[in-house]
Structure 1
């Protein structure tokens, strides 16, 4: 077994059948050591089909999420992130709560140098709600691209 295989040996979801968790609280986010921790860089995850439920009506809400982070010692394992985000499908919460909760949980797990999340929510009731959260100022030495999601313009 190689050294890189050993650092991934604790993962429980990658490489095995993993059902979608019933809720975000039940979801297991996993992390792996960052083999490039001596070099600052930005990681981006984009989830253009994120879904949660309105806590009042139970109707589905849809968002385009963009998560950027500058890792320290840890990286999030992407399958566990996918399952975690998918667990929101049956979760009732307002847009602000979903977006900020995801950012905080990732920041707590990863202890990154920096993390931000943009939640670009599609309109309900005629009003799109965009939610942005970050841990602090972006590191000056790392290229952080714009998130690239345009403001909702409808048909105009």
Structure 2
């Protein structure tokens, strides 16, 4: 039985389109003269293991002191979701996400912790940072 064009071609769902078009968006820091910290937790991070192809799951914890710009929350959610089909190591993904965030919002200080769920009795946590933390 031959398949029709409608069976082989599919329009991406709105969420798939939003993730595919994801960009890190920042806005002006509303309190540029005041040292403060922002904590963001992203509990549903997923990427693919570069060795097995199996999915890796992690909780991402971002803590940062804003510089001139603050990262927009929906934008970071969509950006992080864009990794779900990427083949990348734990170490590289933590560093790449930090590099992209630093490039987008130029923080005074930023730390990213990628806490991966155990697999094969091994629990991995990768912490990367940028800048010098200031007292708040």
Task: Work out the number of aligned pairs and report it.
Answer: 122
Corresponding residue for 1:133? 128
CA apart distance, 1:136: 3.2
Where structure 2 has 5 or more consecutive residues not aligned to the other structure, the ranges are 1-13
* 2:19 aligned to which of 18, 21, 36: 21
Corresponding residue for 2:3? none
Corresponding residue for 2:62? 67
* 2:40 aligned to which of 19, 40, 45: 45
2:59–2:114 Cα contact (<8 Å) kept: yes
Q: Does 1:81 align with 2:50?
A: no
Q: Does 1:113 align with 2:108?
A: yes
Structure with greater proportional helix content: 2
* Separation (CA, whole Å) in 2 of partners of 1:97 and 1:27: 20
| TM-score calculated relative to the size of structure 2 | 0.83
1:29 alignment partner, SS class = coil
CA apart distance, 1:90: 0.7
| TM-score calculated relative to the size of structure 1 | 0.73
* Separation (CA, whole Å) in 2 of partners of 1:48 and 1:79: 14
Structure with greater proportional strand content: 2
1:35 alignment partner, SS class = coil
CA apart distance, 1:62: 0.6
